[in-house]
Structures are given as structure tokens and as C-alpha cells.
Amino acid sequence: MSSGFRFYGFFLAEGWRRFAKKKLRFEYIIEVKIVWDGRPLMLRGLIDSGNQLVDPLTKTPVMVVEQEKAKAVLPEELLGCLSSPMMLASPPERWVHRLRLIPYRAVGSGPQMMAAVKPDRIMLRYENEWLEVAQGLVALSADPLSTDGEYDCIVHPKMVQAGRKLTAS
């Protein structure tokens, strides 16, 4: 009988350890690195449990970045067409395969669409480890995301949860 209790106790302890490992710290500021065409963009991101934006077709999580910050790495011709989803009818040819329209609803308004761009790479520094996000999109916001400038992007929590630890090379 006592070996049964020990087994049960071990099972509970092991389950708790796994749960604690998977638990994500929300409302947490992290370093974010996004790469488009070999051009890296370093940002500070807020992991926000309220960000549930996904591409409705592929269920790919979407991070929101201030468009002003993306100007440093994205071409002006692309940014011009992203400023309005209606202008997506004529994006630069080499970016067409990377563009998506993401439906969303803001508090106090009806359904809207936000343009998103697929980056070459997304990396997140979470709890002193770099994680690579295999699938993710980046939507651009014309408005500042943080009133005090504490962060430049809003990170989808699934990006952190699904991120693969990068090893030193």
C-alpha cells in the first residue's frame, strides 16, 4: 500500500513540475528579433494573454508591431501599401506571397482587417534563453502600442509557448 502512495506522490510531483515549466509569464517584457530579407529589427515586446490574433486559414499566431519601428527594415513601397488593407490590391511583387489579411475586433468598434507580413525569422529572448518561432506573422499598427514607450510590439503567447530553444553555435 505504501509503495502505491509513493508512486502516486511521485506522479503528482512530476506532473506539477511539467505544468510549472509550461506556465507562461504573461504581462512580461522580452527582447524580440524579427528578420526580413536579412535585415534584423530589434524590439521590446509585451507578452499579452489578450492577443489571440491568428491567421484564420492557417491558425498561425500574429504579433503586432508598431509600423514606425518597422520602417527601419521594410521597404517604403511595401509600407505604403500596408497602410490600408484596400491598397493591398497592388503590393510589390516580391512581397505578395508574404502578405495576409487578419480580421480583428477592437474594443468599442466593429470587425476590421489588419495587414500582416510573414518574416524570414522571429526570435524571442524569454527567461534568458533565445527561442525561435517556427510559424508567426507580424501585423503592423499605425498607432503606438505603449503609451509610455515601454514596448514596441505585442507578442502572441503561443509564439513563446511553441518557441524552440536556440543552441549556441
Kindly provide the residue ranges of all beta strands, DSSP E only, lying in the chain, ordered along the sequence.
Answer: 28-36, 39-47, 62-66, 99-105, 111-117, 121-126, 129-133, 137-141, 153-155, 164-165
**Residue 144 · residue 44 · CB < 8 Å:** no
List the alpha helices (DSSP H) in the chain: 2-22, 67-70, 76-82, 157-162
Residue 14: Cβ-neighbour burial (10 angstroms; 0-12, 13-18, 19+): exposed
Identify any residues that bridge with 113 across adjacent strands, giving them in sequence order: 103
Which residue in the list 37, 48, 120, 152 is annotated as catalytic? 48
The yes-or-no answer on residue 48 being catalytic is: yes
Residue 156: Cβ-neighbour burial (10 angstroms; 0-12, 13-18, 19+): buried
Residue whose entry in the numeric block shows the C-alpha cell 484564420: 56
Residues acting as catalytic residues: 48
